[in-house]
Amino acid sequence: MGNPPNRKKNKRGLEHWQRIALFLMFCDFLAIHAAYFLALWVRFDCVYSQIPVSYLKPYRAFITPFAIGSIVLFWFFNMYRSMWRFASYSELIKTFFGSLTSSVLHVLLITLLFRRFPLSYYMWGAAAQLVFLVIPRFSYRLFLFLRSGFQSDNDSHGRVMIFGAGQAGQMLLRDMRTAAEIHSRAVCFLDDNPNKWGRFIDGVPIVGGRDSILETVEKYKITDIYFAIPTASAADKREIINICNETGCSVKQLPGIYQLVLGQVTVSALKEVSIEDLLGREPIQADMQGVFKFINGKVVMVTGGGGSIGSELCRQIAAHNPRQLIIFDVYENSTYDLQLELRDAYPELDLVVLIGSVRDSRRMFDVFSEYRPQIVYHAAAHKHVPLMEDSPNEAIKNNTIGTYKTAYAAMLNGCERFVLISTDKAVNPTNVMGASKRLCEMIIQSFDAKIKAGKAAEIPRLFTHTEEDMAPLPGSGDFRDVKTEFVAVRFGNVLGSNGSVIPIFKKQIERGGPITVTHPDIIRYFMTIKEAVSLIMLAGTYAKGGEIFVLDMGSPVKIDTLARNLIKLSGLKPDVDIKIVYTGLRPGEKLYEEKLMAEEGLKRTDNDLIHIGRPIPFDIEEFLQQMGDLMKDAYSNRKDIRERVAAMVSTYHPDNPPVTVVKDQKYVALVTGEES
């Protein structure tokens, strides 16, 4: 154990707050003496010699013991334990009732023990005592208020405009004034409620609404804008923040209203406006009760569990009582971090973490035969478009052949449901990564069709070693009870995932630019990692076998717009402080991502956000036979692998990427969107 914190003490070992309490006790002792003497003195025309001895003598005998007793009373009213730099109405109320109780006791005791005093003595004494008790307690707050109010307009401190003249804004203003580490001061409020205009909060004027943002920034020389309306809708927040971005000021927002309720709203809790706030839609709130019932008490396996999507899948699964959670990944570092996180958060969880490659048939059969997972979320894949364009055979080996081998092992070892994580780059693919994921979808559809036809035994076994090596493994050759349901899920680009544009842009801004955008018109559809994972799991519960699930994700976002907004949110100006450089589309990159192949069409589900794409028909027998040749070609590292893939995926056009932006399509496929 470490040493206890070093606390500031005086020579007698008193804490700082205890020294403050002793000081206040001394002030209260003097205040009580002074208050009632002042009342007696005023009662007799402010002439000491005119005070009758019959009043002065009882006062002298009574006042000191009474003052000591009052201090004890004030202690029980907690009048010596408050942090007076943060004093508020609650401290004022405690002081008022403590003083009132003391004054009532003064009336009763001095009257019963000595004699009745003039009524004005009781009244003036009680009033003076309250004033004298309040002054030392609130003087420090008054000093801080005056100091902030009289700071020079030309000093080096930031000048803040607070948007939101409600309770959150008032608490924020108060915290700015009392926090010594804050070097900014609020000079005005804005609020969309006209009833508040022209009024003041703690001396700070409310000067208008959102239409006044630009002129107010110029008039008051604003450097920072704090958005303090935690309950604002996404549409209002987007509109207001977009206007704020035009000012060149740094924009920050207050956290959620729950923190206001808990009293956690402080200046230190302000966060940078996140890019999610600019998407212009409310967060997707999926009803997950059916999902959690589905995974409760079952053995669940996540391949690629250390990645962005895989790790969030593991977190959500771990929180809802699986019988066992198996994390499988080839990369040990992120997987190890996730293992430590889940063990700490869920000590009762039966967690198995395995390292291995989905390309290894023997490893996959070992894992499936030993643990026999009932549900598999297959997230393992190479996803970065430019890297796969440079190493196309690796995309086929890992994505396509790896999926085939994993699905085959799952089928023969009692897996109930196999959920493939696909990408919208599989739609009319122009790059080998998208084509490899389209092949994965075709594998899933082929397996499902064979199982439903009772012909699972006809599915070829793909091994890069001799078949004799596989014969002794459990499950090999047993097709009698195959009931696995296979489903694919496509989803949109994921904010903050490994390799996504947002972290890249932030790093470029930190370095001073430039920001690199491939094309001024490139667009993408975005969702958060949590949204994507929730919908993956939800879609998986709807599976009957062979479906490709599709999500309604709203309007697309220009990558150029995201870059410019991020620059503005950092308090900088695009093309002035941070340059934007257009580098041209990378090999295999689309100008826009399509949502659904024209041939697929849509079918409704019980959830308005999720639809099903009807599968494009293809010759399953021919496809499965071609898979063996494709595997051999990939492992032979053939230079013409793209042509081999194009012969199997009719929609793959590597040399003719589409560039026409379609803006009126409504639905977008669910995507692994690590790339833009």
Distance CA 592, CA 556 (A): 9
State which of 242, 273, 304 marks the end of a domain: 273
Same domain? For 470 and 373 the reply is: yes
Beta bridge partners, 669, equal 550
Predicted local distance difference test score (pLDDT) of residue 509: 83
Residue with the bigger pLDDT between 228 and 400: it is: 400
Give me the mean pLDDT over the 529-543 stretch: 77
In the predicted model, is pLDDT for residue 567 greater than 90?
Answer: no
Instruction: Read off φ and ψ for residue 153, nearest 5 degrees.
Output: -65, -20
Residues 191/228, Cβ–Cβ less than 8 Å: no
In the predicted model, is pLDDT for residue 3 greater than 60?
Answer: no
Distance CA 544, CA 488 (A): 11
Residues 601/608, Cβ–Cβ less than 8 Å: no
CB neighbour list of residue 541: distance below 8 Å, 6 or more residues apart? 290, 291, 294
Predicted local distance difference test score (pLDDT) of residue 369: 92
Same domain? For 90 and 200 the reply is: no
In the predicted model, is pLDDT for residue 277 greater than 70?
Answer: no
Residue with the bigger pLDDT between 568 and 609: it is: 568
State which of 112, 145, 178 marks the end of a domain: 145
Element housing 564 (H / E): helix 559-569
Among 618, 627, 676, 668, smallest CA distance to 502 is for: 676
Residue with the bigger pLDDT between 658 and 189: it is: 189
Which pLDDT band holds residue 409 (cuts at 50, 70, 90)? Answer: very high
- Going by the DSSP 8-state scheme, the letter that residue 276 receives in this structure is G
Beta strand 375-378 pairing with 417-421 = parallel
Distance CA 194, CA 608 (A): 38
In the predicted model, is pLDDT for residue 444 greater than 50?
Answer: yes
Which pLDDT band holds residue 386 (cuts at 50, 70, 90)? Answer: confident
Query: Which amino acid does the sequence have at 60?
Result: R
In the predicted model, is pLDDT for residue 642 greater than 70?
Answer: yes
Predicted local distance difference test score (pLDDT) of residue 676: 32
Q: 């500031």: which residue's tokens? A: 8
Instruction: Read off φ and ψ for residue 204, nearest 5 degrees.
Output: -100, 125
Sign of the dihedral through C-alpha 583, 585, 591, 592: negative
Residues 58/114, Cβ–Cβ less than 8 Å: yes
Sign of the dihedral through C-alpha 626, 632, 637, 638: negative
Which pLDDT band holds residue 276 (cuts at 50, 70, 90)? Answer: low
CB neighbour list of residue 451: distance below 8 Å, 6 or more residues apart? 411, 482, 483, 484, 486, 545
Which pLDDT band holds residue 260 (cuts at 50, 70, 90)? Answer: very low
Residues 324/352, Cβ–Cβ less than 8 Å: yes
The whole-chain average pLDDT of the chain stands at: 79
Give me the mean pLDDT over the 82-92 stretch: 65
Q: Is 337 among the domain residues? A: yes
Residues 527/500, Cβ–Cβ less than 8 Å: no
Distance CA 275, CA 412 (A): 44
Domain count, the chain: 3
Same domain? For 362 and 476 the reply is: yes
Percent of the chain having pLDDT more than 70?
74
Is the pTM value of this prediction over 0.75? Answer: no
In the predicted model, is pLDDT for residue 624 greater than 90?
Answer: yes
Q: Is 150 among the domain residues? A: no
In this structure, of 93-102, 300-309, 331-340, 601-610, the range with the lowest mean pLDDT score is 601-610
Instruction: Read off φ and ψ for residue 312, nearest 5 degrees.
Output: -70, -35
Residue with the bigger pLDDT between 154 and 190: it is: 190
Distance CA 414, CA 515 (A): 50
CATH code (residue 364): 3.40.50.720
User: Looking only at Cα atoms, what is the longest distance across the chain?
Assistant: 120
Same domain? For 312 and 263 the reply is: no
In the predicted model, is pLDDT for residue 664 greater than 60?
Answer: no
State which of 107, 123, 145 marks the end of a domain: 145
In the predicted model, is pLDDT for residue 662 greater than 50?
Answer: no
Q: Is 11 among the domain residues? A: no
Same domain? For 51 and 82 the reply is: yes
CB neighbour list of residue 49: distance below 8 Å, 6 or more residues apart? none
In the predicted model, is pLDDT for residue 162 greater than 60?
Answer: yes
Same domain? For 414 and 309 the reply is: yes
Beta bridge partners, 603, equal 612
Distance CA 96, CA 98 (A): 6
In the predicted model, is pLDDT for residue 41 greater than 70?
Answer: yes
Give me the mean pLDDT over the 394-411 stretch: 94
Predicted local distance difference test score (pLDDT) of residue 330: 93
In the predicted model, is pLDDT for residue 623 greater than 80?
Answer: yes
Query: Which amino acid does the sequence have at 242?
Result: N
Range ranked top by mean pLDDT from 114-123, 141-150, 348-357: 348-357
Residues 271/250, Cβ–Cβ less than 8 Å: no
**Per-residue exposure over 476-504, b if at least 16 CB sit within 10 Å of its own CB, e if not:** eeebeebebbbbbbbbbbbbebebbbbee
Give me the mean pLDDT over the 636-663 stretch: 74
Same domain? For 251 and 325 the reply is: no
Beta strand 351-355 pairing with 324-329 = parallel
In this structure, of 178-187, 189-198, 355-364, 411-420, the range with the lowest mean pLDDT score is 178-187
Same domain? For 136 and 231 the reply is: no
Q: Is 239 among the domain residues? A: yes
Q: Is 418 among the domain residues? A: yes
- Going by the DSSP 8-state scheme, the letter that residue 491 receives in this structure is -
Beta bridge partners, 527, equal 494
Q: Is 326 among the domain residues? A: yes
Same domain? For 195 and 293 the reply is: no
pLDDT digits (tens, 9 = 90+) for 453-500: 888 888 988 876 555 555 444 444 456 678 899 988 887 666 655 556
Query: Which amino acid does the sequence have at 450?
Result: K
Same domain? For 340 and 452 the reply is: yes
Predicted local distance difference test score (pLDDT) of residue 166: 86
Predicted local distance difference test score (pLDDT) of residue 419: 92
Cα distances (Å, whole numbers) of residue 5 to 8, 14, 20: 10, 15, 21
Rg (CA), the chain: 36
In this structure, of 119-133, 193-207, 245-259, 594-608, the range with the lowest mean pLDDT score is 594-608
User: Helices 529-541 and 308-318, interaxial angle, to 10°?
Assistant: 60
Residue with the bigger pLDDT between 624 and 675: it is: 624
In this structure, of 99-108, 477-486, 609-618, 626-635, the range with the lowest mean pLDDT score is 609-618
Element housing 128 (H / E): helix 119-149
- How many CB atoms are located within 10 Å of the residue 175 CB? 17
Same domain? For 391 and 451 the reply is: yes
Q: 């030392």: which residue's tokens? A: 136
pLDDT digits (tens, 9 = 90+) for 289-308: 778 888 899 999 999 999 88
Percent of the chain having pLDDT more than 90?
29
Give me the mean pLDDT over the 338-356 stretch: 94
Distance CA 164, CA 270 (A): 14
Sign of the dihedral through C-alpha 280, 520, 510, 218: negative
Predicted local distance difference test score (pLDDT) of residue 543: 66
Q: Which domain holds residue 183?
A: 158-273
Q: For Cα atoms 181, 183, 189, give the angle at the middle one, nearest 5 degrees.
A: 120
In this structure, of 79-88, 136-145, 653-662, the range with the lowest mean pLDDT score is 653-662
Q: Is 467 among the domain residues? A: yes
Same domain? For 476 and 344 the reply is: yes
Beta bridge partners, 189, equal 162, 206
pLDDT digits (tens, 9 = 90+) for 306-334: 988 899 999 999 988 899 999 999 999 99
Residues 618/442, Cβ–Cβ less than 8 Å: yes
Q: Is 581 among the domain residues? A: no
In this structure, of 113-122, 136-145, 540-549, 599-608, the range with the lowest mean pLDDT score is 599-608
